[in-house]
Amino acid sequence: MIEIVVNDMTCGHCASVITKAVKEIDAAASCEIDLAGRKVRIASGEAPGEFVAAIAESGYTPVLAGGGI
């Protein structure tokens, strides 16, 4: 499970944009959004850095939980 903290994810629109970015990397990925905790949990075989980059390209500031990419 990949966990990414997105502190500037504040609403449902943010969550849908981030989910779309995740699905563009891996359409089969499971994506859980914890809006209150500002976390995105992704189950995928793709590299965590791919998701961090996609979320950043969507205009957010993602940080991979637990350290580096």
End-to-end CA distance of the chain: 13
CATH number of 2-64: 2.102.10.10, 3.40.50.150, 3.30.70.100, 3.40.190.10? 3.30.70.100
Q: Where are the beta strands (DSSP E) in 1-69?
A: 2-6, 30-34, 39-43, 62-64
Q: Which pLDDT does position 69 carry in this prediction?
A: 46
Residue spans per domain, the chain: 2-64
Closest CA to 52 of 61, 43, 67: 61
Q: Which pLDDT does position 67 carry in this prediction?
A: 58
The proportion of the chain whose per-residue pLDDT surpasses 90, expressed as a percent, equals 94
Please write the tens of the pLDDT for every residue from 9-40: 999 999 999 999 999 999 999 999 999 999 99
Q: Which pLDDT does position 66 carry in this prediction?
A: 77
Q: Which pLDDT does position 55 carry in this prediction?
A: 98
Strand pairing partners for 33? 40
40, 18 in Cβ contact below 8 A?
yes
